[in-house]
Structure 1
Amino acid sequence: TEVLHQLSIENSVLELNGFKKIKHVCLTTEAIKRFLKKFDQFYIVLNQYAVHIPYEDQPVILIDSVLDRFGQVKDDASQELLHLRKSILKVKSSINKSFSQALSRYAQADFLDEIRESVVDNKRVLAVKAMHRKKVKGVVMGQSKTGSIVYIEPQQTLEFAQELSSLLYQEMEEVKRLLKWLTNALRPFITELTQYEEFLIQVDVWHAKAHYAYAMNGVRPVITKERTLQLIKAYHPLLFLDHQKQKKKTYPQSITLDQNSRIIVISGPNAGGKSITLKTVGLLQLMTQSGLLIPVDPSSELCLFKRILTDIGDHQSIENHLSTYSYRLKQMNYFLKKCQKDSLFLIDEFGTGSDPELGGALAETFLEEFYAREAFGIITTHYTNLKLLANELPYATNANMLFDAQSLEPMYQLFVGEAGSSYTFEVAQKNGIPYGLINRAKKKIAGGKVRFDKTIANLQKERSGLRHLSKSLKEQEQSAKVQAEELAQTQQKVQEKLERYQEVFDANQRLLILGRKVDQLAVRYFNKWTKKGLLDALFKLVMQENSKRTPKTKLQALGDDPKNGALQKASSADAKCTEKQGKDQSKPNSGNKKQAYDQELKQEVAQLRASKRAKKQKEAEQKPEEEVVFTLGDRVRMIDGVAVGTIDKIEKNKVIVNYGTFTTTVKKDYIEKL
C-alpha cells in the first residue's frame, strides 16, 4: 500500500525494494489465478472471484528489463550503464595492479609492518611503520591506536582512485535515471496493481479464516432471520486453542436467547465461568457477523444484530479521572442512547462499583429499561434484587454456573432456569481464609440473607443429586436397550437357523418317503414283471409329487375338481398328518425335561411351517397368473419336472404329450411351456 501510494505521486521515484514488491504482487496474483482456474471444480466461488481480476503482465516485463532476479539494476539495462560498469571494472583492475606494485616495492625496502596492508574507507592502504612514514609517497588515511602503524594510500593509486570516484558517480546518476524511467513506466498500471493488492489481501483473509476455523473445529451455524440466538456446545475460541496446546479440558456452554427469554441473568460463584460465558457469546456473535466459522454444534442458530454493546472488565483510568463506577455510569448512559430492539447487550458484574443497595437499585432500573425496549442481553451479577427481578419478568430468566459444594470446585457448566448462590464463604474457605474469620463474618450479616443464600445452595445440591441420578438411569436405560437389541438379533439368527434346519429336514423326509415308494414299486415289478402296471404306477407317483410342487392357486383349482381324486387324497393326507401332529403336541407331557423341550421345539416348527405356508400362499395370490396358449408341437414338461416331451394332440383342457418311449394325457395346468 505504501509503495502504491508513492507510485501515485507525480515525479516520485521508487526504490529497488519497491519494484521487488510490485513484481512479487504481480507474480503471486498470476500464480493464484492460474491455480484456481486449473482446479475450478474444487474452488468454484474463488475462481469466479478471480476471473473478474484482469491480469496484465506488462509491469513484470518492464521490471525484468531493468532489474535482475536479485532485484539489482542489470548491467545491460542501458548502453551507458554497461559502458560505465566496464570502465569501473577496468579502473579497479588498474588500482589493484598499481597497489600490488607499491606493496611489493615498499615491502622489499622493509618500510611495512607485519600486516603489510589494511582497508580504510573501502580503500586498500599500506601499513607503514611510523618511523618510515616520510619515505612512502601517498596520502595518510589514519594510524593504529598505538601509533606504531600509519595507513597510507600510495601515490600510484590516487590517480586511478579519482577516476573511479568519477565513474561511480556517473553510474549512480544513470541508475537514478533508469529507476525514474521505470517508475514512470509503471505509473499507468496503478489501477491494476491496486486490484492485485486487494485481491491478495482478500485471499489472505480467506486463508486466515479457513486456517483458524480448522484449528478450532469451526463450523457454519444456521443463520436465521428470526430473533433467535441458540448456541449449542459453544467454546471460547482463544480458551479452546490455549487449552488444546496445554492439553487441558475446555468446557462447552449451551445458551439460548429468543422471544420468550430475551434477557438472561447469570449468577454463581467467583471464578466459576460467568465472565467466560459472557465473552464466549459476544465473541462468537461478532465472529459470525464477520464471516468467521465458530466452534459450536452445527445445529446452533444465530440471528444478526445491528448493535452489540458490551461492558466487560474494569476500565478505571487515572489519566481520564475515571473510577470504576464513573466508567460504568458513562457506559450505561451510552447504552441507554443506543440500545434498541435490534441490539445485543453484554454486561459483566452489573451494578458493581458503588454501594450494593444503591448500585443494585440503579442497576435494576437500567435492566427494566432494557427489558422494556425488547433488547436481547446477558448480564452477570451477585445482586439478589437482580435475580429476583429476572424471576418476576416473564421474558427474562435466571441462570447459574454450577458449583460442587463438597469439593469446593466450580463445574464450569451453565444451568438455565434458576439463580445461583455466590458461595462467598465456601470460596473464601477454599482460598485459605481462616475458618474463625469466616464464622465471624457470617454473624455480621442478616440471618435472612444467610438463610436465602443457604436455601439456594441446598437447591443446587439437590438438583446436582437429581442430575447424577438421571444420568445413571439414562445410562442403565441405554444399556438395557442395547442388550434388548442384541437379544432380538440373536433370537432372529436362531429363528433363521431353525428354519433352515427344518427345510433341510423336510426335504430329506420327502426324499426318504419318495424312495420308499419307488422301492415298493421296484419290489412289485420284481415279483410280477408287468411293465404296463409299473409305468402307470410310476406316472401316478410322479403326478402326486408334482402336484405338491404346484403353486397354491393351481392346487386350489385342481382340488375343486371332483375328478382329481389323487390330489384330494394327498391334501386330506397332509391335513390328517398336520391334525395328528397337533393332537400329539396337545397331549400332556409327563416325560422329563428333554421331552418337554422336544415338544416345545415341535410346536415352534409347526408354527414356522404354518407361517411359511401362509407366506407362500400370499405371494402366490399376489402374483398374477398368465394364460398360456399351447399349440401342436410345443415342447413342454411337467411343472417342476425334468422330462421334456412334445404335444401331439389337444383336447379341450387336456393334451397328449409324447415322451418318445410313451405318451400320456395330462391337464394343461400340470405342464409348462418351454
Structure 2
Amino acid sequence: MSKNISDKTLQDLEFSTVLQHVSQFCLTGLGKEKVLEIKPIHNKKELIKELFLVDEYLTSFTSENRIPNHNFDNIIESVKRLAIENSFIETEAFLKIATTSITVNELIKFFKKFQIQFPTFYKLSSQIEFTTYIDDEIKKIIDISGEVKNNASSVLKQVRKDINNVRGKIGASFTSALSKSISAGYLDDIKETVVDNQRVLAVSAMHRRKVAGSLLGASKSGNIVYIAPQATLSYSREYQNLIYEEKQEIVKILRALSNTIRPFVFLLKEYIDFLIHTDAIGAKGKYAQEMNAILPKISKEKKIFFKNAYHPILWKKNKNQNLHTVAQTIELNEKQQIIVISGPNAGGKSITLKTIGLLQIMFQSGLLIPVDERSETYIFDAILTDIGDNQSIENQLSTYSYRLKNMRNFLRICNENTLFLIDEFGTGSDPDLGGALAEIFLEEFYEKKAFGIITTHYSNLKVLANELENVTNANMQFDERSLEPLYRLFVGQAGSSFTFEVAQKNGIPFSIINKAKKRVETEKIRLDKTISNLQKERNRLQKNSESLESQKRKGQEHLNNLQEKEERIQDKLSGFQELYDKNQKMLSLGRKTNELLNKYFQTNNKKELTTNFNKWVSDEKVKHLKKTPEIPTTKSQKQQAKIVEKQLQQVIQKVEKEVLDKVVEVRQEKKEEAAKIAKEKSEYNYQINDKVRIIDSNSVGTIDKIDKKSVTINYGFFTTKTSVNKLELVEKAKK
C-alpha cells in the first residue's frame, strides 16, 4: 500500500506543516523526532493498527480509565554504553533505566487490565516482556537520590564507617586548634573558612608563624592567611585515602550492577521503542482532539466520502484569527470516478482539492482526520499530485515541461487503485493545444479507472466531463451580486469563471472589458454566460429551498409543540374525568351508607340494617361483574372459549386469503399495463424536437438530428450523440 506517494506529493499538500503541529503535543524530544519523520504507511495491516491505536488514545480522553503517564528520559546513550562488555554506567543513568522500566511495566499492567477498552494497545504491549527484575536490582544498590547504598557491599559499609570516624576526629582536632588560636588572639574576625573542601583557620598575617600547620592560601589583601592546623593534617591524609577507597569500591559495585543488567539491553531497546511510539500516538491523539478529528469508516469498496471535511492547516490558521472555515462535502465512487471543479480564481478550487489530498495522506499515515463521523474512505496504492508552479531552474524545465513530465509519470503509474489531484489542468501552453492534450490525458485516466479531482478553467474539459459517464462537473459557489466567493462546493454542474465580472469589481475600466469581450469567441462567451445564468438560477433556487426548508422545520416544530400540548391537556382531562368518576362513586356510596344508617337510627332494627346492607352489596357486585368480563375458570368454560377463538381465526384466515387473491390480481393488471407501455415506447419513432432524456440521467434535451444508428441531442449549450435504445421520451414534439 502507498508505494507511490512521493516526497513531492507530501510537499505539494504541505504534509510537513501538519506534522509540525502534531509534534508540538509530544512529551519527549525522541517522540517529536519520530512524528516529524512520519510517512504514509505501506503495509495495510500496520496502517489499520496505527489508526486503531490513535483512536483508542483519543477515546481515553472521555473515559475514566485515562492512559497512565508515559513520559520518559532519553536512555539511548546509556544503553549503548551498557551494551559494551566490561563497561559501566553512572548511578544517574541507572536511575533513569529503572524509571523507564517502571513506566513500561505500569503501561503493560494498565492495558492488560483494560484490554476490552484498549484491545490494540493491549496486543502491542503484550509483546513486551514484563519484569520487575531490572528496577529491583537497581533499587538494591542505588537509593532515590542517586547514591550507592551502604549495604551495597560489606567493604563499602566498612569504608564509610571509617570515613565517618575520621571525619569526627578531624572535627574534634580542628575545634581544639580553633579554641587555642582564638584564646591566643591569632585569628581574624571571620575566624575560619573552607578551602578545597577543608576547614582552615583564618589567621592574621602578622601571626602566621605562631600557628602550626599547612598554609593553603591567603586573602586578596594579604591580611589573612588560611592555615590547616597541624593536628588535622594526619587525619586529613587518612580521610583522602578512605575517600579514594570508597570511589574504587563504588566503581566495582557499578560494574557488577552493569553486568547484572547487561543481558536486558535488548529489552531496554524495546522499552525505548515502545515509549517513543506511545508518545507519537499520544501526540496524534491530542492533535485529533484539538481538530475534532475522527477515524472514518475504512471502506473495502473503492470510494471516498468526506462529509463536512476541513483543511486542517486552514482551520488552525482561521481559528487563530477568529475566522470561520467552510466545510466541504465530496464523494468519489465507481459512478463518480473523477470530479472536474471549475469556477473563478480565489473561489476555493485549489483548497478543496488540497483538502481531499491532505486528508487522504493523513489517513494513510495513521492520523485521524477532521470529517463527520459518517465519512468513509479507501486505502489507495498511489496518490499523485500536480499542484502549483513547478518551474525548475536546475533542470531547465518550464512549468509546462515539468507538467508534461509529470503527466508521463501519471500515465505510467495510474491504475484503478490510484488517486490523482491536478490543479489548473492544461495550463502552461496554448489554450487550444494545451486543452486538447488535457482532454486526452483525462480520457486516459478515466479509462484506467483511476479516481481523481481536477481544477480547470478550460471549457472543453467541462464539456468532456459532461459527456463521460462517470466524470462529474462541480463548481465553487459564487455570489453573483457581491462577486464574493462562498467557498462552497456544488457537485453536478460546471462553474463560470466570472472573468469579466471579477475584472469589473477590481476596477478595470468598462471600456477595456468591452474590448476584451469582443475578442473572445462568441460561442465561448455564450457558454460562459449560460453557465453563469445557470449558477444564478441554481443559487436562487437553493436560497428558496433553504427558506422553504427553514419554514417547514419551524412549522413542524410548532405542530409538534401543539401536539405535545394537546396530549398533555388530554392526559389532564382523562385524569380529571377519572377523579370525578371516583369522587361521584364515593359520594354515591356515602349517600347510600348514610341512608341506611338514618333508617337504622329511626327503627333501631339491626336485623333490617344487616339485610338491607347485604342486599346493597350484592347489587353492587352484580353491576361490577357486568362491567368486567368473567375470566373462564371451569373446564367447560375454557373449551367454549377455545371454540370461539378457533372460529375467529377461521374468519381471519378467510379474509386474509381474499385480500391476497385481490393483491395478485392487481399486480397482474399493473404488470400487463407496464408491458403495454414498454411496447408502445419501443415501437415509438422519435421525431425532431422531441424532448428526451438518456436513461438513468436527469438532464432533458431536444432531438436536433436523427441518423440511422444515432440521434443528436441538444442540451442548450452543448450537444451529444447516443443510440435510440438509450433514450427515454419525456414529451412529444409539438405540431
TM bucket, shorter chain: 0.5 to 0.7
> How far apart, CA to CA, are the structure 2 residues paired with 1:359 and 1:401?
23
Q: What residue is the counterpart of 2:91 in the other structure? A: 16
> How far apart, CA to CA, are the structure 2 residues paired with 1:316 and 1:121?
69
How far is the alpha carbon of 1:386 from its aligned partner?
A: 3.8
What secondary structure sits across from 1:14 in the alignment?
A: coil
What secondary structure sits across from 1:411 in the alignment?
A: strand
Q: What residue is the counterpart of 1:306 in the other structure? A: 381
> How far apart, CA to CA, are the structure 1 residues paired with 2:493 and 2:556?
33
> How far apart, CA to CA, are the structure 2 residues paired with 1:142 and 1:384?
95
How far is the alpha carbon of 1:104 from its aligned partner?
A: 7.4
Unaligned 5+ segments in structure 1 are 520-533, 555-617, 625-674
Q: What residue is the counterpart of 1:31 in the other structure? A: 106
Instruction: Pick closer, same or farther for the CA change 1:188–1:385 going to 2, 3 Å.
Output: same
Q: What residue is the counterpart of 1:59 in the other structure? A: 134
Within a 5 Å distance, the mapping from 1:116-515 to structure 2 comes to 138=214, 144=220, 154=228, 156=230, 164-240=239-315, 243=318, 247-313=322-388, 328-329=403-404, 331-351=406-426, 363-423=438-498, 435-436=507-508, 440=512, 443-444=515-516, 446-448=519-521, 453-485=528-560
How far is the alpha carbon of 1:477 from its aligned partner?
A: 2.6
Conserved in 1, the CA contact under 8 Å of 2:205 and 2:225? no
Instruction: Pick closer, same or farther for the CA change 1:495–1:175 going to 2, 3 Å.
Output: closer
> How far apart, CA to CA, are the structure 1 residues paired with 2:430 and 2:173?
92
Counterpart residue type for residue 281 of structure 1: I
How far is the alpha carbon of 1:551 from its aligned partner?
A: 6.7
Q: CA RMSD in A?
A: 5.4
Counterpart residue type for residue 18 of structure 1: A
How far is the alpha carbon of 1:182 from its aligned partner?
A: 1.5
1:474-507: per-residue Cα shift (whole Å, max 9, x none)? 22233334445555666677788889999989x9
> How far apart, CA to CA, are the structure 1 residues paired with 2:401 and 2:242?
71
> How far apart, CA to CA, are the structure 1 residues paired with 2:187 and 2:219?
13
Conserved in 2, the CA contact under 8 Å of 1:127 and 1:149? no
> How far apart, CA to CA, are the structure 2 residues paired with 1:112 and 1:27?
56
> How far apart, CA to CA, are the structure 1 residues paired with 2:433 and 2:649?
87
1:311-338: per-residue Cα shift (whole Å, max 9, x none)? 4455667778777556555544443332
Conserved in 2, the CA contact under 8 Å of 1:270 and 1:422? yes
Q: What residue is the counterpart of 2:152 in the other structure? A: 77
TM-score (norm 1): 0.64
Q: What residue is the counterpart of 1:576 in the other structure? A: none
> How far apart, CA to CA, are the structure 2 residues paired with 1:133 and 1:321?
86
Counterpart residue type for residue 447 of structure 1: V
Q: What residue is the counterpart of 1:660 in the other structure? A: none
Percent of aligned pairs sharing the same letter? 48
How far is the alpha carbon of 1:264 from its aligned partner?
A: 1.5
What secondary structure sits across from 1:479 in the alignment?
A: helix
Instruction: Pick closer, same or farther for the CA change 1:132–1:298 going to 2, 3 Å.
Output: same
1:553-592: per-residue Cα shift (whole Å, max 9, x none)? x9xxxxxxxxxxxxxxxxxxxxxxxxxxxxxxxxxxxxxx
Conserved in 2, the CA contact under 8 Å of 1:425 and 1:438? no
Counterpart residue type for residue 247 of structure 2: M
> How far apart, CA to CA, are the structure 1 residues paired with 2:177 and 2:622?
134
> How far apart, CA to CA, are the structure 2 residues paired with 1:87 and 1:438?
103
What secondary structure sits across from 1:464 in the alignment?
A: helix
> How far apart, CA to CA, are the structure 1 residues paired with 2:207 and 2:393?
71
> How far apart, CA to CA, are the structure 2 residues paired with 1:153 and 1:321?
81
What secondary structure sits across from 2:301 in the alignment?
A: coil
How far is the alpha carbon of 1:294 from its aligned partner?
A: 3.1
Q: Which range moved further: 240-249 or 343-352?
A: 240-249
Unaligned 5+ segments in structure 2 are 1-74, 596-611, 633-643, 651-735
> How far apart, CA to CA, are the structure 2 residues paired with 1:286 and 1:203?
21
Counterpart residue type for residue 221 of structure 1: P
Counterpart residue type for residue 414 of structure 1: L
> How far apart, CA to CA, are the structure 2 residues paired with 1:427 and 1:98?
98
How many residues are paired up?
541
> How far apart, CA to CA, are the structure 2 residues paired with 1:442 and 1:80?
103
Conserved in 2, the CA contact under 8 Å of 1:125 and 1:151? no
Counterpart residue type for residue 33 of structure 1: I
What secondary structure sits across from 2:146 in the alignment?
A: coil
Conserved in 1, the CA contact under 8 Å of 2:200 and 2:229? no
> How far apart, CA to CA, are the structure 2 residues paired with 1:18 and 1:314?
52
Instruction: Pick closer, same or farther for the CA change 1:544–1:269 going to 2, 3 Å.
Output: same
> How far apart, CA to CA, are the structure 1 residues paired with 2:241 and 2:575?
109
Counterpart residue type for residue 288 of structure 1: F
How far is the alpha carbon of 1:77 from its aligned partner?
A: 1.9
1:6-54: per-residue Cα shift (whole Å, max 9, x none)? 4334334334343223212221232233334444554456446545544
Conserved in 2, the CA contact under 8 Å of 1:102 and 1:154? no
How far is the alpha carbon of 1:251 from its aligned partner?
A: 2.0
> How far apart, CA to CA, are the structure 2 residues paired with 1:358 and 1:139?
98
What secondary structure sits across from 1:70 in the alignment?
A: coil
What secondary structure sits across from 1:367 in the alignment?
A: helix
Instruction: Pick closer, same or farther for the CA change 1:111–1:293 going to 2, 3 Å.
Output: same
Q: Which range moved further: 122-131 or 280-289?
A: 122-131
How far is the alpha carbon of 1:255 from its aligned partner?
A: 0.3
Conserved in 1, the CA contact under 8 Å of 2:199 and 2:228? no
What secondary structure sits across from 1:346 in the alignment?
A: strand
Instruction: Pick closer, same or farther for the CA change 1:282–1:96 going to 2, 3 Å.
Output: farther
Instruction: Pick closer, same or farther for the CA change 1:180–1:243 going to 2, 3 Å.
Output: farther
What secondary structure sits across from 1:345 in the alignment?
A: strand
Conserved in 1, the CA contact under 8 Å of 2:504 and 2:513? no
What secondary structure sits across from 2:546 in the alignment?
A: helix
Conserved in 1, the CA contact under 8 Å of 2:186 and 2:204? yes
How far is the alpha carbon of 1:68 from its aligned partner?
A: 1.0
1:410-450: per-residue Cα shift (whole Å, max 9, x none)? 222111122334445666677xx5x2468646745733466
> How far apart, CA to CA, are the structure 2 residues paired with 1:141 and 1:353?
83
What secondary structure sits across from 2:264 in the alignment?
A: helix
Conserved in 1, the CA contact under 8 Å of 2:188 and 2:224? no
